[in-house]
Amino acid sequence: MRVCVLGAGVVGLTTAWALTEAGCEVVLVDAASAVGTGASAGNGAQLSYNFVAPFAAPETLWHLPALMRDTAAPVRIKPRLNGGFLRWNLEFLRACTGRMVRQTTEAQLALAALSRAELDRLTASTALSFSRQANGKLVVYRDKTSFQTARRQAEAQKGLGTAQGVLDGAQCLREEPGLRIPAALLQGGVFTPREEVGDCAAFCEGLAGQLRARNTVTWRMGASATPVLRDGRLVAVQAGGAEIGADQFVLCLGSGAARFARACGFRLPVEPMKGYSLTLRPRNDAGRLVHSVTDADRKLVFAPLEREGGQVIRVAGIADLVGEDRRIDAKRMAMLRKGAADALEVDLDSDPIGWAGLRPCTPDSRPLIGASPVAGLFLNTGHGALGWTLACGSARLAVDMLMQRPPVLDGAPFSPKRYA
């Protein structure tokens, strides 16, 4: 089977890899000239296999009015009078129930476990170097209510096989000596010892290198794709002045997926949620992080990555529903810098510019994996805040479905039909 994968971010590349493993002829198309330049380029580096809480939750509803008013909140929503956006928001509100949170958590944990296993399998057969470390994740809370909610989520996840420890503020500071938040400001934290970090951009480059070395993929980089439909079936894409035909197309366009779907004549519930990151050097050895850390109430993550010349700390956060706009807003970036300086001992001059990217978000935070309403087009997209974590498992599930093999896990929770 000849399969054309649309998008060479982490989801498209892992899909291409899984397809070549299944014996398919693969064409990979991306508008950018290099792989992994979209959301995969500067993300928070968390391989968050056990920490999968969705954005849509009952407590999000309670906080929503305050978030809409507060311009300094880590989440910002710019209302737009656009049918797709309004519908996405209604679907988001509908997903803010305890039952949906439980269903999503269960589904995401299963997909995350598959992802870890698939990444292990991939790294066992290739020499990929992307600063992968299993150094555990400490999520700290400044607010009493959010700490209590996290405690409950940790209890609920225990039944799903996740080992997590609940710590008080002083224990958090002992566990992570690189943390500089004063004890009086910390309610406590949740420590997950088996959590991992890894440099997603380095992984994308490494995997592309492996695919090139095996000569199993035809590359069409620097080519923005638009659909060519015949009798309601996607038969080709127009990309870089050429028409590329295939038996199947897999949509992995991240925040560009909804636009491509619209051009095919259907609506995809994927909204871009802008986030920012910085890659900073610790100011001294005492500022190095041992674990990955999340400052939960400020919605910031800090991941230690090993680079030539020593540790760097990837600082990432902010969730702005402001449309497909990748520009760096100076005020939001200043917030991120302040967040880093308040929690860590880092050299802010070591990354003077920073980065912004768009998370491709579905209302319930679960990716869309399955057939689309258009024949010939399969979906593997909408991974939101967890695309790096879920990429390898999603690729395996998508390719099992495409090749009509018994899927390795139940794909129903990720079916695009839930939004039909």
Ligand X SMILES: Cc1cc2nc3c(=O)[nH]c(=O)nc-3n(C[C@H](O)[C@H](O)[C@H](O)COP(=O)(O)OP(=O)(O)OC[C@H]3O[C@@H](n4cnc5c(N)ncnc54)[C@H](O)[C@@H]3O)c2cc1C
End-to-end CA distance of the chain: 28
Measured CA to CA, the distance from residue 215 to residue 133 in angstroms comes to 29
Say how far residue 399 (Cα) sits from the centre of its chain: 19
Cβ closer to ligand X: 31 or 101?
31
Identify the CA nearest to 44 among candidates 355, 368, 394. Answer: 355
In the complex, least distance from residue 91 CB atom to ligand X, rounded to whole angstroms: 18
The pair of three-digit structure tokens given for residue 227, joined into one six-digit string: 């659909």
In the complex, least distance from residue 103 CB atom to ligand X, rounded to whole angstroms: 20
The pair of three-digit structure tokens given for residue 110, joined into one six-digit string: 């299963």
| Residue 353 near residue 328 (C-beta atoms within 8 A) | yes
**Element spanning 106, H or E:** helix 98-125
For residue 369, what are the β-bridge partners? 380
Q: How many residues does the chain have?
A: 420
In the complex, least distance from residue 389 CB atom to ligand X, rounded to whole angstroms: 3
Measured CA to CA, the distance from residue 45 to residue 131 in angstroms comes to 10
Cβ closer to ligand X: 39 or 264?
39
For residue 249, what are the β-bridge partners? 4, 377
In the complex, least distance from residue 344 CB atom to ligand X, rounded to whole angstroms: 16
Cβ closer to ligand X: 19 or 169?
19
In the complex, least distance from residue 79 CB atom to ligand X, rounded to whole angstroms: 21
Cβ closer to ligand X: 116 or 169?
116
Cβ closer to ligand X: 173 or 252?
252
Binding residues for ligand X (CB under 6 A): 7-12, 29-32, 37-40, 43-46, 48, 224-225, 252-256, 260, 275-277, 301, 316, 357, 359-360, 381, 383-389
In the complex, least distance from residue 239 CB atom to ligand X, rounded to whole angstroms: 7
Cβ closer to ligand X: 97 or 228?
228
In the complex, least distance from residue 168 CB atom to ligand X, rounded to whole angstroms: 26
Cβ closer to ligand X: 115 or 169?
115
The pair of three-digit structure tokens given for residue 357, joined into one six-digit string: 């990217």
In the complex, least distance from residue 382 CB atom to ligand X, rounded to whole angstroms: 8
> What is the β-pairing status of strands 310-321 and 75-77?
parallel
Q: What is the largest CA-CA distance in the chain?
A: 65
Identify the CA nearest to 313 among candidates 100, 46, 108. Answer: 46
Measured CA to CA, the distance from residue 315 to residue 45 in angstroms comes to 9
Cβ closer to ligand X: 101 or 398?
398
